[in-house]
Structure 1
Amino acid sequence: MADIINLLPENIANQIAAGEVIQRPASAVKELLENAVDAGATEIKLFVNDAGKALIQVIDNGKGMSETDARMSFERHATSKIKNIDDLFHIKTMGFRGEALASIAGVAQVELKTKKPGETIGTFIEIENSVVITQEPVATPEGTNIAMKNLFFNVPARRNFLKSNASELRHIVDEFIRVAMAFPNIFFSLTSNGQEIFHLERGSLKQRIIQILGSNYNANLVSVKEETDYLNIYGFVGKPETAKKTRGDQYFFVNNRFIKSAYLNHAVMNAFSDMIAKDSFPMYTLFIDLDPSRLDINVHPTKQEIKFEDEKIIYAFVQSAVKHALAQYSVTPTLDFELDSSIQHTEAVSQPFTSEKQNSIAGSSLYKTFTQKNQAHFINSKSDLEQWDTPKNVEQILTKQHGFPPIPSSEKSKPADTFSTFNRHADAVKPNKKPSAEEYVQVHKAFIIAENENGFIVIHQQNAHERILYERFVYAMKGKPIAIQRNLFPVTLEVTPADAILINELLPDLNVLGFQVEAFGKNTFVIQGSPADVTDGNEKVALEKMLEQYKHFSMDVSFSKREKLLRSMAWQQSVKAGTFLDKKEITSLVEELFACEICNTTPNGKPVFLEFKKDELDKMFGR
């Protein structure tokens, strides 16, 4: 019988590797930018056309490559960073796996120009489908100029899975920001279809943060800096009054590599726990430097998830460093009339740190452990860390302590779609009858009590309004447009480059949902009209908050773009707890709620009302 096992051809092996490394244009951007950083460049320019599908080009002024190295760089498992197995556990550079260029060459047409400093002539290489088409000398500046064209040209099935240009460009911007944020001493620029989106001059970390996240953080950053024998932590956190009701701009870097970690995020949230509302989120950009042998960065293909040797130690250090910074700088809030009222009235915002509070923080066992030399491995086991035995508990703890919405099990395994989600609770149980009371009672400006034949129900006014708005928006998408009120004076909205890309992507759906928004210059938009129930003068704030909610809405679940927009707008426009409603408004809310197709849960699965039956009440009182 003939043998059936064969070695894969080189080009097919590279295409398979590309499935791990190059999942979309942004993946290639990340790899090429990291290579430029490793080359010691002080200027890195990124050019993309057609959201990276037609062209991704990175030009740097780094150390370049010799003719032999230029050719070898496209071989599989070719890297200058690893000589033996021990090197794998002492990695300090960004790109080291030796798969990136080989993978890119397997799924794109690549042109490389490179020259080492001091040499008179450089090298030009052209590769297509892993095959070298051209290799010849070329006149080129010092450094490397690599261009990859027509991504997935030879794997059309993969190309068909790419999202819209606006969506793919947002992913590219995300990767660009993560690299640019980590290296403020390098000039970065990003040009898309001939228009420069980012122009980031070399400077300090604070300047880079303001360049990327906006000038509103200029006077609202608190420096974090702690050096210990185990690790160093430095960076900035936003003052408590800048905390948002949705996830703000949050970045963690370990040895200058961007990582995602709900575990470390929880440490920062704990540090802010007594200073901001429980359902608010602070801004932070934090860097952790530690011995590479104490972590494993190769546990995930994108290297955005890493494993620490001892996670409890890192957790304690991060929490203590942020607490110490906030106490040391005696953060004094300023009055901000656009700040959410529930944040404005928290004790931490209305009252500055007192010396007693500072002493309390400095006297905690966790802080002492952090600051005492050579005490890294003696963290008090009875501290807040004991519930963090493994990262598996992250979701439950975040849900319990910080009000993060739990992810329904049915949503963890598959993407959510607008209309399938709309009918998810087809078996939703309504009360036997709509409340029959002639009058409804509002309690604590948050709940509505309504009598029915069986007893009474308690309705949460914000959850109810979210459900009403969500279904209204779903019908709008099906062809029942939202009423629009034209602004007497158009409102100008200026946003960051990343947000401008996002708004351009959402413009068609925003118009259907009642926001008439038009592009006006590079990062500026004009709001010509808004939904009729948005208060005059509140259009800009409403759109900004909706945008923030959209960006950080249920990040752990793969919602469709439209679904995220509908949920974000329903949450943003719903009447919040703490709002007084008159009798007419209450009656309208209840009637609209029970006219909904699904009336007992919000789009996120939170209960809208609870029913109390008369016979159960009788039993409670012994009758």
Structure 2
Amino acid sequence: MRRIEKLKPDVSARIAAGEVIESPASIVKELIENSLDAGATTIKIALNQGGKSKIVVEDDGVGILFNDLPLAVERFATSKISDVDDLGHIGTFGFRGEALGSIAAVSRLEIRSMAREEAEGGLLICTGGKVELHRRINTFPGTRVQVEDLFFNFPARRKFLKSSQGETRRVSSVVRDYAVAFPDKVFTLMSEDRVIFSTEGNTEERTFLDILDKIWPSHCPIQQGKVDFVPVKITAFWQPLREGTRVNLTVFVNGRRVQDSVVRAAISSFGQAASGLWFVIVEVPPEDLDVNIHPAKAEVRFKNSGEIYKAASKLVEDMLMGSKQMFSIPLRPSSEGRPVLAQTEDDGEEPQKWERDLGENLGGNGPEEVHDTDHGETFLQFVDEDEQHVRFLGRLSSGYLLYEYSTNFVLLDPHASHERILFEFFLSRIRDGSRQNIYPELELPPSVSEVAREWVKILEEWGFSFKEREGVLYLSGVPAGISEKNLSPIGVLRLALDAAEKTAGEDLAEVFAEGLASEACKGAIKITKIIEEKEALALWNELFACKKPQACPHGRPTHVVVTAEDMERLFRRK
């Protein structure tokens, strides 16, 4: 076992250092990497108040020699490297000797450790970077690091920490990512003495998918792919979601959780076809990677970034070719009745508070704000008359749909129209609070359950229901009609939670308006979609069955009318 040594001045001068501790999550990241470097097979993390009051990380690694404990909290003291040449082929996570020293400087730190070759362990206590106690104790092999009162001596930094629930979620995200990247390790995360995430630890191929199944939305298939461009190896897991979602990417390079622009660029080059959740593991020779370019080691530089891009692009292409995932939102059955031409005017009905709030939050003046067109305010409105007739003429190359209605032509935007249909569908379901039970009940991933507990009263008003058994939260009901729209129950719950967090408990209408409009956009028919006559007529009937068919939720017109009078004028017959 190598001893911890104080770095030579010429080595430390070459290491760009900065404070690496920003939050409990960054502390947990550094301590997990220390445990992995120590060869730990089991890593336990416990939090109080999201880590703001206490963080404990315990492992069964090789431990720290008693005489080396004081050095462990000094900057630029490390067992990982000892020479300038070592910086060129770093194979460990830590190498600067900064983590424990930085943590000690901003907290009350206690380290209990026992090296396997020693009969007794050691205890080290620091406050604000000052060693207060160092003595021998009886303890178990491995290391236990306890961090209390984070930023107690830096109140300006402490005030920028999130709520306890928010910090717990950030830590949970870090732990889950490392659990996926290191499936052979046993990870346990506890919050307030309650287990919120754990893995069993094995090397079977299925382990990656088992862990991702716990943390990604349910009922969405996860694709797996590999590519081997010697010496580059890339493994990827992809959960394709519906059109309109962005690329949500987690990248590990040689075991490091990093933000990487090369892999992101490769995935993004495939556009919406590659949207969804990605977890990518890249392996390259240590000498082909520069890990010393970011103070928190959150970024890396590839020696041959072109090869990485090429390999990642090939992998994504192969996975897209093998994916059978289809995205479609079925229309409801056509409504009875026919629309008639009319000048839009206020029907004199006072909009309900909910509708006023929605209109204001979507950028309009009240429930709707219809953009002007070259034809003034002429739109089609729904009435129950059967003598009128509509005929679908076809789809223009621009994607707009052309109809003949009475003596008029109507150009319809399929995307904006479907947005309006979905928007009113969701709105009616959530307004009436109707609920649809789920069988079997869905166990919520830790990242979702922690937030759901915080907003449970709000969610229940919208039609969600929950059950808790043995500390695990289950989703037992969702707003009625969700299944009709081919939506993942947990995906919709995530959307509602995201909206709730952004508004920090503002008016309920404001909370869900953003999520409702966003979901309508994602699920709407794209203007590039080829639409057959039957579907085009169903879309027409669905649109004009809406209360406000004139515009999409964002205020864009759904259709434009060319009247017989307009045509007379265009051909100068009038």
Normalised by the length of structure 2, the TM-score is 0.70
CA 1:154–1:568 in 2, change beyond 3 Å: closer, same or farther? same
Alignment of 1:150-169 (within 5 A): 150-169=149-168
Indicate the residue corresponding to 2:344 in structure 1: none
Indicate the residue corresponding to 1:525 in structure 2: 474
- Matches of 1:170 and 1:57 in 2, distance apart? 16
What is the CA distance between 1:29 and its match in structure 2? 0.7
CA 1:467–1:156 in 2, change beyond 3 Å: closer, same or farther? farther
- Matches of 1:133 and 1:24 in 2, distance apart? 24
Alignment of 1:236-315 (within 5 A): 236-238=236-238, 244-245=242-243, 246=245, 250-268=249-267, 278-279=272-273, 281=275, 284-315=278-309
CA 1:209–1:536 in 2, change beyond 3 Å: closer, same or farther? closer
Indicate the residue corresponding to 1:73 in structure 2: 72
CA 1:221–1:422 in 2, change beyond 3 Å: closer, same or farther? closer
> 1:253–1:287: 8 Å Cα contact kept in structure 2?
yes
What is the CA distance between 1:139 and its match in structure 2? 0.8
CA 1:585–1:309 in 2, change beyond 3 Å: closer, same or farther? same
- Matches of 2:261 and 2:109 in 1, distance apart? 37
- Matches of 1:498 and 1:194 in 2, distance apart? 17
Indicate the residue corresponding to 2:137 in structure 1: 138
1:515 equivalent among 464, 468, 472: 464
Q: Does 1:191 align with 2:190?
A: yes
Q: Does 1:482 align with 2:484?
A: no
Structure 2: unaligned runs, 5 residues or longer: 1-15, 331-356, 383-389, 526-530
1:220-269 Cα offsets, whole Å, 9 max, x none, are 654514151xx231435459xx6654458754321111223353134346
1:595-616 Cα offsets, whole Å, 9 max, x none, are 97x623xxxxxxx658699999
Q: Does 1:430 align with 2:371?
A: yes
CA 1:263–1:590 in 2, change beyond 3 Å: closer, same or farther? farther
- Matches of 1:70 and 1:488 in 2, distance apart? 56
> 2:257–2:298: 8 Å Cα contact kept in structure 1?
yes
Indicate the residue corresponding to 2:228 in structure 1: 226
What is the CA distance between 1:127 and its match in structure 2? 1.3
Higher strand share: 2
What is the one-letter code of the residue matched to 1:576?
A
CA 1:424–1:437 in 2, change beyond 3 Å: closer, same or farther? closer
Indicate the residue corresponding to 2:235 in structure 1: 235
- Matches of 1:450 and 1:166 in 2, distance apart? 56
CA 1:323–1:419 in 2, change beyond 3 Å: closer, same or farther? closer
1:491-519 Cα offsets, whole Å, 9 max, x none, are 72223333333433443442344434444
Indicate the residue corresponding to 1:45 in structure 2: 44
> 1:94–1:257: 8 Å Cα contact kept in structure 2?
yes
Alignment of 1:179-578 (within 5 A): 179-204=178-203, 206-214=205-213, 222-228=224-230, 231-238=231-238, 244-245=242-243, 246=245, 250-268=249-267, 278-279=272-273, 281=275, 284-321=278-315, 323=317, 340-341=327-328, 422=361, 430-431=371-372, 434-438=377-381, 458-459=412-413, 460-464=416-420, 482-487=431-436, 492-528=441-477, 530=479, 534-535=480-481, 541-547=487-493, 566-572=513-519, 576-577=524-525
1:49-92 Cα offsets, whole Å, 9 max, x none, are 22212221111111111233211121223322232333333222
Give the secondary structure class of the aligned counterpart of 1:214: helix
Give the secondary structure class of the aligned counterpart of 1:196: strand
What is the CA distance between 1:314 and its match in structure 2? 1.0
- Matches of 2:80 and 2:139 in 1, distance apart? 25
What is the one-letter code of the residue matched to 1:290?
V
What is the CA distance between 1:206 and its match in structure 2? 2.8
> 1:542–1:572: 8 Å Cα contact kept in structure 2?
no
Indicate the residue corresponding to 1:170 in structure 2: 169
Indicate the residue corresponding to 1:7 in structure 2: none
> 1:467–1:593: 8 Å Cα contact kept in structure 2?
no
Count of aligned positions: 493
Structure 1: unaligned runs, 5 residues or longer: 1-16, 344-417, 601-607
> 1:448–1:461: 8 Å Cα contact kept in structure 2?
no
Indicate the residue corresponding to 2:543 in structure 1: 586
- Matches of 1:320 and 1:435 in 2, distance apart? 51
Give the secondary structure class of the aligned counterpart of 2:184: coil
> 1:51–1:165: 8 Å Cα contact kept in structure 2?
yes
- Matches of 1:123 and 1:70 in 2, distance apart? 8
1:71-127 Cα offsets, whole Å, 9 max, x none, are 112122332223233333322211223222122122221111011112111111111
Comparing 581-590 and 22-31, the one that deviates more? 581-590
Give the secondary structure class of the aligned counterpart of 2:147: strand
Give the secondary structure class of the aligned counterpart of 2:281: strand
Give the secondary structure class of the aligned counterpart of 2:145: strand
1:189-238 Cα offsets, whole Å, 9 max, x none, are 1122222223322212634313311287999654514151xx23143545
CA 1:158–1:618 in 2, change beyond 3 Å: closer, same or farther? farther
What is the one-letter code of the residue matched to 2:235?
G
CA 1:34–1:130 in 2, change beyond 3 Å: closer, same or farther? same
Give the secondary structure class of the aligned counterpart of 2:25: helix
Indicate the residue corresponding to 1:97 in structure 2: 96
CA 1:332–1:171 in 2, change beyond 3 Å: closer, same or farther? closer
1:390-444 Cα offsets, whole Å, 9 max, x none, are xxxxxxxxxxxxxxxxxxxxxxxxxxxx999947688x88317543434698886
- Matches of 2:222 and 2:438 in 1, distance apart? 31
- Matches of 1:509 and 1:153 in 2, distance apart? 34
1:307-329 Cα offsets, whole Å, 9 max, x none, are 223322211122234556888xx
What is the CA distance between 1:621 and its match in structure 2? 7.7
- Matches of 1:582 and 1:227 in 2, distance apart? 48
- Matches of 1:293 and 1:20 in 2, distance apart? 26
Comparing 87-96 and 278-287, the one that deviates more? 278-287
CA 1:142–1:567 in 2, change beyond 3 Å: closer, same or farther? same
- Matches of 1:124 and 1:25 in 2, distance apart? 22
CA 1:486–1:44 in 2, change beyond 3 Å: closer, same or farther? closer
Comparing 33-42 and 155-164, the one that deviates more? 155-164
1:517-573 Cα offsets, whole Å, 9 max, x none, are 44455444243462xxx42755994522324667999xxxx9667789654443335
Give the secondary structure class of the aligned counterpart of 1:571: helix
Give the secondary structure class of the aligned counterpart of 1:88: helix
- Matches of 2:136 and 2:358 in 1, distance apart? 57
Indicate the residue corresponding to 1:389 in structure 2: none
Comparing 291-300 and 109-118, the one that deviates more? 291-300
What is the one-letter code of the residue matched to 2:491?
K
> 1:491–1:526: 8 Å Cα contact kept in structure 2?
no
Give the secondary structure class of the aligned counterpart of 1:22: coil
CA 1:91–1:564 in 2, change beyond 3 Å: closer, same or farther? farther
What is the CA distance between 1:285 and its match in structure 2? 4.0
Higher helix share: 1
Indicate the residue corresponding to 2:555 in structure 1: 599
Give the secondary structure class of the aligned counterpart of 2:78: coil
Normalised by the length of structure 1, the TM-score is 0.65
Which protein, 1 or 2, shows the higher relative CO under an 8 Å CA cutoff with sep ≥ 6?
2
CA 1:252–1:448 in 2, change beyond 3 Å: closer, same or farther? farther
Q: CA RMSD in A?
A: 4.7
> 1:446–1:461: 8 Å Cα contact kept in structure 2?
no
CA 1:618–1:482 in 2, change beyond 3 Å: closer, same or farther? same
